[in-house]
Copies of this chain bind each other. A is one copy, B any other.
């Protein structure tokens, strides 16, 4: 089973020996810091489709996704929308030092976030440099992801965009574990066609058509509307237009 190549390493890992199980704060943690963080943390749950915050609204916390998927989107005056961030479990949302949200934050699926009130979080950050270091690493990762995304938006064909998105989800999705015994990759596509179109800078009709084409060509198999099976990940990867080494896709 060659499918266990580095290409398929999931992007992020839970830190299992840490009571706060998120990339944001789990690395190199020490007991007293964790206690301080524990005191200012709280959980919020959202149903699929619910809005967490609107762009421009006050956001007095930073947060880390525990389960589910959140999206960051921008909207133009006339309603055109572009997704600019896709937050999977352990990803971080909110900018220390900024009062309001710059983006619409939406729950793409049912969602649980672990929130930290911003003021005290910033204070703790100042006292414990490694939290800031961790945040810097994560932000640099996000910046690389954003730049890969820019290549997709600016230069890829609709077909390449769809193939790329499916590969990105497959790569990052924790349910990657759901790889069937025969080497196929099976997972849930956690986005509606509309959300996909907002991610890719396409219309939802184009997304639907291209999905159908990939299906007819056997590059993907669908079960129901959301379940996706990739019979041959490498073959799909060839349709993304990316360098074969996978680059910095996140």
Of B136, B146, B201, the residue contacting A135 (CB under 8 A) is B136
Point out the residues of chain B lying under 8 angstroms from A133, CB to CB.
Answer: 132
Bound together, the chains give a CA A153 to CA B242 distance in angstroms of 18
Q: Does A144 contact B (CB under 8 A)?
A: yes
Bound together, the chains give a CA A103 to CA B150 distance in angstroms of 13
Q: Does A77 contact B (CB under 8 A)?
A: yes
B241 with A151: CB separation less than 8 A: no
Q: Which of A71-123 contact B (CB under 8 A)?
A: 72, 74, 76-78, 80-82, 84-85, 95, 97, 102-103
Q: Does A58 contact B (CB under 8 A)?
A: no
Chain A interface size range: 35 or more
Taking the closest CB of chain B, its distance from the CB of A150, in whole angstroms, is: 5
B95 with A140: CB separation less than 8 A: yes
Q: Does A17 contact B (CB under 8 A)?
A: no
Given contact pairs A136-B139, A140-B95, A241-B77, A72 touches B201 in the complex (Cβ within 8 A):
no
Q: Does A40 contact B (CB under 8 A)?
A: no
Given contact pairs A153-B154, A248-B102, A72 touches B147 in the complex (Cβ within 8 A):
yes
Residue in chain B with minimal CB distance to A243: B77
Of B136, B150, B201, the residue contacting A146 (CB under 8 A) is B150
Point out the residues of chain B lying under 8 angstroms from A150, CB to CB.
Answer: 74, 82, 84, 146, 149-150, 153
Q: Does A143 contact B (CB under 8 A)?
A: yes
Taking the closest CB of chain B, its distance from the CB of A86, in whole angstroms, is: 12
Bound together, the chains give a CA A205 to CA B52 distance in angstroms of 42
Q: Does A137 contact B (CB under 8 A)?
A: yes
Given contact pairs A95-B140, A103-B147, A139-B139, A154 touches B82 in the complex (Cβ within 8 A):
yes
Q: Does A155 contact B (CB under 8 A)?
A: yes
Point out the residues of chain B lying under 8 angstroms from A60, CB to CB.
Answer: none
Supply 30 A–B pairs (Cβ within 8 Å), ascending by A: A72-B147, A74-B148, A76-B155, A76-B242, A76-B243, A77-B243, A78-B241, A80-B241, A82-B155, A84-B150, A84-B151, A102-B144, A102-B147, A103-B147, A129-B129, A129-B132, A135-B136, A139-B139, A139-B140, A142-B143, A143-B143, A143-B146, A146-B146, A146-B147, A149-B150, A153-B154, A153-B201, A154-B200, A154-B201, A155-B201
